Chain A
Amino acid sequence: MDRLLELLKDGHARTTLMLASELNTTVTDIGRKLEYLENMGIIKKVSLEEPSCVESCTGCSGCGPRESGKSSKCEGCMPDKEILNMGEMWEVVHHG
């Protein structure tokens, strides 16, 4: 798990297959550990369906009304009916 987190934090993109290969384990093992890290708030799944206006969108008029602590669908970030087949993506959000 330590090594997995080190790899995730080194700034390089990797597929789950590559992570499994580098850590000499299985894709299933990587998958369950990513799920754990996600639940602990250490990594975050990139949402391609409902990009958040709250975190990064400061000047976008496409943002709907914001409720505290919740994201709102941002027309400026992702048009409606976007075609999606980008797989699953995660990014490290907790750098401690």
Chain B
Amino acid sequence: MSEIVTIALLGQPNSGKSTLFNTLTGLRQHVGNWPGKTVEKKEGSFSYNGRIYDIEDLPGSYSLSANSDEEVITRDFIASGRADVVCILADSSQLDRSLFMTADYAGINVPCFLVLNMEDVAKEQGKRIDINIIEKNLGIPVVLFSANDKKDYDPFYKVLERAVADKPMINTSILEAGYDKISGYKEIKEMIPEGLIDGYSSMWIAIKALENDPVVMERLRESLDPAKTDRIDSLRDSIQGAVETGGAKFSWIDSVLEGAVSEKTEKITLSRLDRIYTDKTWGKPAVVLTILSGLILSFIPALPLMGVGMAVSALKAPVGKLLFSAGCPEIIISIINSVIIQSFSYIFQMLGFVFGVTLVFGLLEEVGIMARVSYVFDNTMGKLGLQGKSVMPFLISFGCTMGGAAGSRVIDNWGQKVLTIALAWAVPCGAAWSVVPMLSTLFFGPGAVLVIIAILLTMLLHMWITAKVFGRKLITKENRYGMIMEMPPYHKPKWGALLRYVLGRTKDTFVRVTRVVLVVCTLFWLLSYSFVSGSDPVLYRIGMAIEPVTKIFGLNWKLFMAFVASSIGKEGALGVISALFNGGNFYGAFSDAMSGAAVASDLNDTLISNVTKPEALAFIFAITFNMPCVVALAATYQEIHSVKWTAKIAGYYTIGALLLAAIVYHIGILIW
């Protein structure tokens, strides 16, 4: 009884190894690192019944495959023979999962015993475990106890002594019968003589070879004829071997536990809400309804900030009057009114959307609904190379593309996020829906319905083509695989955290977007301002110069300028048309249009007499599928953090809109 016995503690993370180790060793322990590794090495000792036990707490690992340093260290130590007996720990509250380590250990030629830890948790779950059945099936001593119950370690010491005395090994006959069914296993095993690698049976090595374990394969290449290892390589089919060996191990675990664990039967039931969301017929309509409701609701918290934006715009007149009376030069007044005040008016209105959308959709995510949205639309989105949750930005984009871009932040993969925003730009926004029906009705009367239908069909085609164009660079093939989800339970939102998050995002957006909006607005102001009295603004001169080209797209220079203005905001296009076709002051018309001023009352007559139907159709398509607006551009940059990709998308839409206009124009010529 005087020899020192070495025990190795083996178990998955959270199996209670550290608790057992600390309780057994107390202060008699040493912590260091495994040689050449940054993996922690814990050693200690204790004595029981006059015998000294050295104990090695092996690194926690899922299995004994060579997937990590921890796993290689663990199995090398065991196979080295330095441990007299290995104590395998398993979580008794989830035996069918945690016995995997035991299944992976089976076939290692070192005596062992099994500790079913966390008996207390299993009891709380209503599980009753018959260790006699498990012990009989495994052929090794088994103890059921709780390592954190420091007063009751006797059962542990008893099985330890039994294991030391009997040197038991796991009975692998049933396990190997399962392995025999795996294609190639028998042939590989026959090529591996017993004792080829110390500590491991030929069964264990053959299984690891099938699993393509790199360390085992290297040892085999060192020990076997090249012809044999070549044959093993040919028998091993990529991941299929690992799948089949895993399946055999789980089947064996089930056979070991058969009749040994009694528990409540697990019922497969869905909540009422989930039954609706996952229903093949009603799932998608339910999700669309939820998103649309969210969109409508997001306007409520957005309203105050949108009101602030409008109030800022209303400052222009009194500020202008004040500056004028103070003798301020006209150009300075114009800069303050048209650039600074107007820009901040846009920004505050945009922040209203950011705040509302982030709050409502953050709430949907927080309570668990977004997970259902992702699931329901995954298959549809998968066809475009996207995730299910991409549908949310698309739906939001019907209201506001900027909101759609902001909504894309729930998409974790950067490439998918960029593609989602790129596709969301194709969805006509609320501003487009306020301009397009009016122009369609004006030029085509009842035929406006057909124009709207054509626009919706073009939208779908545009999204499909855009997905093909950008998807190749943004989405790798791996991104397109199916999704497995464990849906989160519904729970009440944490309002404090939610508001902190929403306010943080709104502030970040304010800072980033202010810079972009100020630059773009300054540029358009410069182009539309007449610096020398009586001379043509730059915008006019440019328009006349480029008209030969813009005509190709079915747009004369005036329509083209309106098209350019629609890049700032769709609603601005109408005011610019009115001014240009009436020959008014360009700067004033532009400024009014950007301020959301009313369209000139004689616009209808002016347009009908000056614009042909093909030109009108070309213009409608051009502004609908043009870059949505400058705030959408800023929001896109805000979400994807890439100047290159923001510019690519903007350029693609600008060129695409002109090409669409050209196609539509020439079709229109054939019709009218």
Q: Of all chain A residues, which has the CB nearest B61?
A: A39
Q: Of all chain A residues, which has the CB nearest B413?
A: A56
User: Would you call B14 an interface residue if the criterion is a C-beta within 8 Å of the partner chain's C-beta atoms?
Assistant: no
- Contact between B371 and A87 (Cβ–Cβ < 8 Å)? yes
Which residues from chain B contact A84 at a C-beta distance below 8 Å? Answer: 365
Query: Quick one: which of A32-89 are within 8 Å of B by CB?
Result: 32-37, 39-43, 46-48, 51, 53, 55-62, 74-89
- Contact between B379 and A12 (Cβ–Cβ < 8 Å)? yes
- Contact between A11 and B485 (Cβ–Cβ < 8 Å)? no
Which residues from chain A contact B53 at a C-beta distance below 8 Å? Answer: none
- A31-B96 Cα distance, complex, nearest whole Å: 10
Which residues from chain A contact B272 at a C-beta distance below 8 Å? Answer: none
- Contact between A83 and B501 (Cβ–Cβ < 8 Å)? yes
- Contact between B415 and A87 (Cβ–Cβ < 8 Å)? no
- Contact between B246 and A40 (Cβ–Cβ < 8 Å)? yes
**0/1 string, B190-233, CB within 8 A of A gives 1:** 00000000000000000000010000000000000000000000
Q: Of all chain A residues, which has the CB nearest B253?
A: A32
- A58-B418 Cα distance, complex, nearest whole Å: 11
Which residues from chain B contact A78 at a C-beta distance below 8 Å? Answer: 409, 412
- Contact between B641 and A61 (Cβ–Cβ < 8 Å)? yes
Query: Quick one: which of B458-502 are within 8 Å of A by CB?
Result: 473-474, 476, 478-488, 491, 497-498, 500-501
Q: Of all chain A residues, which has the CB nearest B481?
A: A92
- Contact between B485 and A16 (Cβ–Cβ < 8 Å)? yes
User: Would you call B97 an interface residue if the criterion is a C-beta within 8 Å of the partner chain's C-beta atoms?
Assistant: yes
- Contact between B483 and A89 (Cβ–Cβ < 8 Å)? yes
**0/1 string, A9-27, CB within 8 A of B gives 1:** 1111111111111000011
- A1-B486 Cα distance, complex, nearest whole Å: 18
Looking at the assembled complex, report how far the CB atom of B539 sits from the nearest CB atom of chain A, in whole angstroms.
33
Given A46-B412, A94-B239, A81:B483 Cβ within 8 A = no
Which residues from chain A contact B247 at a C-beta distance below 8 Å? Answer: 1-2
Which residues from chain B contact A77 at a C-beta distance below 8 Å? Answer: 412-414, 417
- Contact between B481 and A1 (Cβ–Cβ < 8 Å)? no
Which residues from chain B contact A47 at a C-beta distance below 8 Å? Answer: 412
- Contact between B482 and A51 (Cβ–Cβ < 8 Å)? no
- A78-B59 Cα distance, complex, nearest whole Å: 33
- Contact between A14 and B239 (Cβ–Cβ < 8 Å)? no
Q: Of all chain A residues, which has the CB nearest B374?
A: A86
User: Would you call B294 an interface residue if the criterion is a C-beta within 8 Å of the partner chain's C-beta atoms?
Assistant: no
- Contact between B415 and A76 (Cβ–Cβ < 8 Å)? no
- A19-B410 Cα distance, complex, nearest whole Å: 25
- Contact between B645 and A85 (Cβ–Cβ < 8 Å)? no
Sample 25 A-B pairs with CB under 8 A, ordered by A number: A1-B246, A5-B243, A8-B481, A13-B375, A13-B388, A14-B482, A14-B485, A15-B375, A19-B484, A32-B96, A34-B484, A36-B250, A37-B246, A39-B65, A41-B67, A60-B640, A61-B643, A77-B414, A86-B488, A87-B486, A89-B485, A89-B486, A91-B479, A94-B239, A96-B237
